Structure 1
């Protein structure tokens, strides 16, 4: 390594709505919040923090995923706490460290 001791860490985030019927019956306000949620993660992607994100089309377990690349694990709870969907109380997020295999 060329003097750079900073090894990036990767995390898998699973985002779920706080009610099972959310995607069928969200209100206009919730729909607007979801737009802000997508904008928030798009901004993080543009900053190079998010590798990929999006909804998972599993009819038995609808959820979204985000894969992040950060300097330290303490950044992850902050990223989650600043998500407009989490702030509004309509989304919950759990996260796990992962050993990402990335192209060279």
Structure 2
């Protein structure tokens, strides 16, 4: 297994406060996409981080060795629509509650 902390970096610091109508739609699709991955067991947890310096998103992934984190995050609707990007941070392991 492989584990990642993925940080979604939005296009601007005030992104969540200044979403356009299109961005609102893409963010809903983003949430649905991550929830689908959660249901498949690929995402362990995800959500927004309300940092005063600028909000961002965090997702914890648990993947089989043959799965590609870049392929999964590239398929996210917000990335496909050119809204921000992901940073991928490998983790040595991931311990969760049962």
Q: Same fold (TM over 0.5)?
A: yes
Q: With structure 2 as the length reference, what TM-score do the two structures score? A: 0.90
Q: How many residues align?
A: 97
Match 1:61 to one of 54, 69, 88: 54
The residue correspondences of 1:29-44 to structure 2 (distance < 5 A) are 29-44=22-37
Cα deviation, residue 61, structure 1: 3.2
Map of 1:97 onto structure 2: 90
Cα deviation, residue 21, structure 1: 2.5
Task: Could you tell me which runs of 5 or more consecutive residues in structure 1 were left unpaired when the two chains were aligned.
Answer: 1-7
Cα deviation, residue 93, structure 1: 0.4
The residue correspondences of 1:10-25 to structure 2 (distance < 5 A) are 10-25=3-18
CA distance in 2: counterparts of 1:94 and 1:73, whole angstroms: 20
Q: Greater Rg, structure 1 or structure 2?
A: 1
Q: With structure 1 as the length reference, what TM-score do the two structures score? A: 0.85
RMSD of the alignment, in Å? 1.6
**Structure 1 counterpart SS, 2:25:** helix
